Amino acid sequence: MKRTKTSIPTHAIALFLGLGSCILGDPAWGQGFNPGTVYDNAPWISARAAGMSEAVDPIANGMDAPYYNPAAIGGLHYKQERPAVSQLYFPYLGLAYNRSSQSLNQALRSGGDLNDSSVSNELLQAYDGEHPYARLSLLPAITLYRVFLGYTYDVRAMSTPHETDTDLLDVNYREQSGPVIGTSYASKKRDFYVGISAQYLTRKVTQGSFPLATVNDGESRRKAFRDSQEKYAGVPVHVGALWTGYYKWRPSVSLVARNVASPELQSDDSEAAAHRLKEDLTLGFALSPNIGKWGMLNVVLEGNQLTQKSIPSKDKLRFGTELTFGNAFGAESGFSIRSGYSFAGVSYGLGANLGIFGLQAASFVEDIGADASRVIERRSVINLGINIADY
């Protein structure tokens, strides 16, 4: 069978930061693979969250706030007045990929979808034992005082060998989009914050086991993928609260509920079952002491997915650190060094804001094994933002 070989383009940014992707350990395909990983639950990509193993709820700000803690929309730890428009991103771009999918990522960035031959050729790498994964998100957004408005487009494509049949290929493709709105309230002393965000989310999902011959042939591929596509729509809601003290160590405690009450995304097919999003209740604690006059250290301990009894306790704990330089907080700082730890392993990253341009990059590790299997994969994550409000 004729298949296109993968070409691996050079990603100068990732190489410079030392964040090249690699897969750790034996993939162990026979034990199963779970495409619905925790990091993919976020509606857009955050390299800052990835670099800290997603332990960011008590210090979430900037573009992380609407999802990771809506209480932080409009900023944290600011006693002085801020500009009416603190963020005007056009755009905020996110990329995520693993070792075997740089070319897949390039195909998605070029506007290809699941029916495009270049995308399908990259997914066919799974026939050789790889599991290509790539994700792209695009988010124009504005923060006006403590109100966030945006529109997100997010696409993820991945494939893996079938567990038992070597003539089949498992494909999972998700495309989602919709407007996002959020708002928050801050007390006069800036020691208590509460917020809420919601998105009208439309999602197209194509997943299943397909014969290699079907994926390789354009006409057969389009028909098979079209027939297996499911469309959903719904409104996930996230709420958050944050208490912080202005002591020397600046302690913070956050409580966030994402996908409140496990909302359902309804199918456009009246006979198809709805897709339920799992609620994620997260409790976080952070210390954010100043380091002289030049920076700040953020240290975070977090427990997430607390309402999901099927997840072992050790998998719920995450730890993150962030060293920032400059007088701005968190995501808005001039330069940042980050690291994180979860049961899957160590993640790390860097961030820089230079005028209207912001660049964040991370190497993120996650357990993608299904059921009781343990499959550790390392992925690269990059954000590029143009914040016109800083002009």
| Better-scored residue on pLDDT, 65 or 112 | 65
Q: Binning pLDDT at 50, 70 and 90, where does residue 13 land? A: very low
Q: Binning pLDDT at 50, 70 and 90, where does residue 80 land? A: low
| Better-scored residue on pLDDT, 381 or 167 | 381
**Strand stretches in the chain, DSSP E:** 85-97, 133-138, 141-144, 147-161, 168-186, 192-199, 201-211, 229-234, 237-244, 251-258, 264-267, 275-276, 280-287, 290-291, 295-303, 317-325, 335-342, 345-354, 357-367, 376-387
- The rounded percent of the chain whose pLDDT value lies above 90 is 57
User: Does the pLDDT at position 350 exceed 70?
Assistant: yes
C-alpha dist (Å) from residue 360 to 37, 291, 321: 21, 22, 15
Residues forming a β-bridge with 324: 296, 336
Confidence (pLDDT) at 117: 85
Confidence (pLDDT) at 1: 39
Q: Binning pLDDT at 50, 70 and 90, where does residue 48 land? A: very high
Nearest to 384 by CA among 112, 177, 109, 145: 109
Q: Binning pLDDT at 50, 70 and 90, where does residue 384 land? A: very high
Nearest to 172 by CA among 143, 138, 133: 133
Q: For the residues 344-356, what does the mean pLDDT come to?
A: 95
The amino acid occupying position 82 is: R
User: Does the pLDDT at position 306 exceed 90?
Assistant: yes
When the pLDDT of each residue in the chain is averaged and rounded to a whole number, the result is 86
- Domains, the chain, in order of start with CATH, read 12-390 (2.40.160)
- Is residue 109 packed enough to be buried (19+ CB in 10 Å), middle (13-18) or exposed (0-12)? middle
- Is residue 293 packed enough to be buried (19+ CB in 10 Å), middle (13-18) or exposed (0-12)? exposed
Confidence (pLDDT) at 79: 61
User: Does the pLDDT at position 17 exceed 50?
Assistant: no
User: Does the pLDDT at position 22 exceed 50?
Assistant: no
From CA 149, how far away is CA 166, in angstroms rounded? 47
Confidence (pLDDT) at 273: 87
Q: Binning pLDDT at 50, 70 and 90, where does residue 182 land? A: very high
Dump pLDDT digits (tens) for 119-170: 888 888 887 878 889 999 999 999 999 999 999 999 999 988 887 888 888 8
User: Does the pLDDT at position 379 exceed 50?
Assistant: yes
User: Does the pLDDT at position 107 exceed 90?
Assistant: no
The amino acid occupying position 124 is: L
Q: Binning pLDDT at 50, 70 and 90, where does residue 269 land? A: confident
User: Does the pLDDT at position 20 exceed 70?
Assistant: no
Confidence (pLDDT) at 243: 96
The rounded radius of gyration (Å) of the Cα atoms in the chain is 21
| Better-scored residue on pLDDT, 92 or 245 | 92
Answer whether the bond into residue 70 is a cis peptide, omega within 30°. no
Q: Is the dihedral of CA 165, 22, 54, 65 positive or negative?
A: negative
| Better-scored residue on pLDDT, 209 or 299 | 299
Q: For the residues 94-103, what does the mean pLDDT come to?
A: 85
* Residue tagged 């195909």 (tokens): 107
Q: Binning pLDDT at 50, 70 and 90, where does residue 27 land? A: very low
Dump pLDDT digits (tens) for 250-266: 999 999 999 999 999 99
